[in-house]
């Protein structure tokens, strides 16, 4: 019975995710879903992305969090439309939540939508939102074993950002061991060692994001 109920939940979510994708496609909006554990740097990556791109494309953001508007306020301060989703305890965003958020945005006047999912390395991987690309942000302080401990999350994304490279020397983090785990799960995954604090590696990330938006047809 439990398996049947879960299948129904996922099926309903997938249908709504397809509807979200159609809605974005019709408006010519490219959607990116950012996932990570708490503190890995999702909001920092969003603001670092907005800064150089807001003169090129019209950007909006949707911020998912269990409580508060702290991250959404940081993003909105950069002058982009931002919708806050407080999940009330849920550990992930789902397609229905995003559908409601989309109704609050003027999609016809946007080109890029960045969604910040709830900080979690388990639940977000199971719920599609309808975005064109999914990106996982890992960080050096989390440890180099995360691909081995959370394989589903690493297997299902289009790109991986390894943030906080500026503190690599202070942690026992083996980048090659980390990458071997990633490659075993997701061969050829786009990989961006980066520091949102210093800007190291940001250019390569922005170049990939620009290229992916063109491939996405928007």
Q: Can you spell out the DSSP letters for the chain?
A: -HHHHHHHHHHHHHHHHHHHHHHHHHHT-EEEEEEE-TTSSHHHHHHHHHHHHTTTS-EEEEEEESS-SHHHHHHHTTT--EEEEE-TT-SS--HHHHHHHHTTS-GGG-SEEEEE--S-SSGGGG-----SEEEEEEEGGG-TTHHHH-HHHHHT-SEEEEE-GGGGGGS---HHHHHHHHHHHSTT-EEEE--TTT-TTHHHHHHHHHHHHHHTT-
- Percent of the chain whose pLDDT exceeds 70: 95
Note the pLDDT of residue 94. Answer: 96
Which domain CATH number covers 63? 3.40.50.300
pLDDT tens column, 38-90: 999 999 999 999 999 999 999 999 999 999 999 999 999 999 999 999 998 89
Using CA atoms, how far apart are residues 188 and 132, in angstroms rounded to an integer?
Answer: 18
Domains in the chain: how many in total?
A: 1
Supply φ then ψ for residue 125, to 5 degrees.
-65, -20
Mean pLDDT confidence for 92-114: 97
**What is the domain range of residue 10?**
2-215
- For the stretch 124-170, pLDDT in tens is 999 999 999 999 999 999 999 999 999 999 999 999 999 999 999 99
Q: Comparing C-alpha atoms, which of 67, 30, 25, 28 is closest to residue 49?
A: 30
Neighbours of 184 (CB within 10 A): 13
Tell me, what's the pLDDT at 218?
A: 46
**What pLDDT sits at residue 213?**
82
**Residues, the chain, total?**
218
Residue 7's pLDDT band (cuts 50, 70, 90): low
| Per-residue pLDDT at 39 | 96
Tokens for 46? 């969003």
């Amino acid at each position: 019975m439990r398996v049947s109920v879960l299948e129904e939940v996922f099926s309903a979510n997938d249908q709504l995710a397809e509807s979200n994708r159609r809605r974005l496609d019709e408006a010519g909006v490219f959607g990116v879903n950012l996932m990570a554990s708490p503190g890995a740097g999702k909001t920092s990556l969003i603001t670092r992305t907005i800064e150089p791109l807001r003169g090129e494309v019209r950007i909006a953001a949707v911020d998912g969090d269990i409580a508060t508007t702290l991250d959404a306020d940081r993003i909105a301060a950069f002058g982009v439309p931002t919708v806050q989703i407080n999940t009330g305890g849920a550990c992930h965003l789902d397609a229905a939540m995003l559908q409601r958020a989309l109704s609050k945005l003027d999609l016809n006047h946007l080109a890029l939508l960045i969604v910040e999912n709830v900080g979690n390395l388990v639940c977000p991987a199971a719920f599609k939102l309808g975005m064109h690309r999914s990106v996982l942000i890992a960080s050096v302080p989390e440890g180099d074993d995360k691909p081995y401990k959370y394989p589903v999350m690493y297997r299902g994304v289009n790109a991986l950002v390894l943030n906080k490279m500026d503190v690599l020397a202070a942690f026992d983090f083996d980048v090659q061991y980390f990458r071997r785990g990633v490659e075993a799960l997701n061969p050829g995954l786009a990989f961006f060692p980066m520091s949102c604090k210093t800007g190291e590696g940001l250019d390569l990330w922005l170049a990939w994001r620009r290229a992916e938006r063109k491939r996405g047809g928007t």
